[in-house]
A and B are shown apart, each in its own frame.
Chain A
């Protein structure tokens, strides 16, 4: 418990350092653009593939679990849409990104710590925490909502293709279903969650990397911890945010 509190204190102090006034704005701008490519753009592939197949599976499962003449088939489209928007494209996608982006951030910053590159930055008058972490946070906060939107669209397309190919629903019914009783707020809800999760992934992973002590073994350990802690926090905040935003 005491260890947990002291870790939490260190985390808050680090964030304070991260959000203190940057020295040279132009350099930060360039870094942020680069991180958008590394952390955001390079995740489009994995998000697309996974969303496509998850959309496909969700549709088929909805179809086979509601094989009942009373239910109109367009509800399959509706079910697919809502599961993807409400849960998959925000929370599950965030868990996947925690694995990909989180471990990447922790090992990059951790390696810089153990090879004294962070010390070298400090010696050059750079606020290393802010210089290394702030561009990553801003980049993911801006880019991840876009990933969520991509995931929603691709997921629904995946559902449509699998549903029609498997013959469980006609194309017209599916398209009718995904428009039926559409609540635009669900998209907002999904984006809000994504922004929260992006902050959790980036800041928690950066924290793990920044305070690595030792050698490459510890860097590996930090990157594992980054994934585990940010995943657990995502699950926890998923419940809290859902209660706050949907009740």
Chain B
């Protein structure tokens, strides 16, 4: 369980997060949705400790993560897997070495055990026979999947995904969403996903938080999202032509 309390953050006097509180439950996909520039990435990176919040508390189970030093954070970060917005695979090493990297840094497994684990994770995301390719040789969807494999290599308790399906075609996007959902249930992780894709929201959103200009405006489930009385959320939800059409016919 991850809890955030009254998070505030500004960059050079520019407020990008105002008083955000929320709870993220284990074994579920928690979605953070909002328009581009609304502060989703900043919020997610603050939870991971990659941005320092100005004030507020970030709880992982019963510790306040943002009060810990580098060593204390490292302990908890062992349990976090992250899929960054642009995949963030290391360019200079191969797919196999990328997935192996966290194992090298955090564990004392033997080389054979590491390779086994790497292959297990790559198989799990359906990347076969690509161990010796470099990230530049992969398609966008493959990169995302390798990045997911890297994120789950340490069997994390928490999974963070920043726009896992942006830049992908609709079918691949759904595959990636499904993969994240399966992994979340299989390993009962606390998963937080940033997205601005309504397809994902309706597909995998169990608990949803909507933010706009750094303020949390709404919270609920995907069944409630179509009937909210939050105007900003409705503008967002019914932004695409098809959704508007369906709504007016109703």
Contact = CB atoms under 8 A, between A and B. Distances in A.
Interface stretch (A79-87, A113-121, A150-158): A113-121
A167 interface: no
Interface in A116-171: 116-117, 119-120, 122-127
B101 interface: yes
Range class of the A interface residue count = 10 to 19
Nearest to A126: B105
A3 interface: no
Given A123-B48, A125-B74, A24 B86 contact: no
B238 interface: no
Interface string A83-126: 00000000000000000000000000001100111011011111
A23 B74 CA distance: 12
A33 interface: no
A27 interface: yes
B23 interface: no
A117 B105 contact: no
B91 interface: yes
Interface string A10-24: 000000000000011
B88 A124 contact: no
Interface residues of B, number: 21
Given A116-B84, A116-B85, A119-B50, A125 B78 contact: yes
Nearest to B48: A123
B102 A119 contact: no
Contact of A117 (B74, B77, B88): B88
A78 to B, nearest CB: 47
Contacts of B106: 124-125
A163 to B, nearest CB: 45
Contacts of B48: 123
A120 B105 contact: no
A116 B86 contact: yes
A122 B86 contact: no
Contact of A122 (B50, B78, B90, B91): B50
Contact of B105 (A24, A112, A115, A116): A24
B125 interface: no
B77 A124 contact: yes
Greatest chain B CB density within 10 A among A115, A120, A122 is at: A120
A123 B51 CA distance: 12
The 7 residue pairs across chains A and B that have the minimum distance between CB atoms = A116-B88, A125-B74, A116-B84, A120-B88, A124-B102, A124-B105, A117-B88
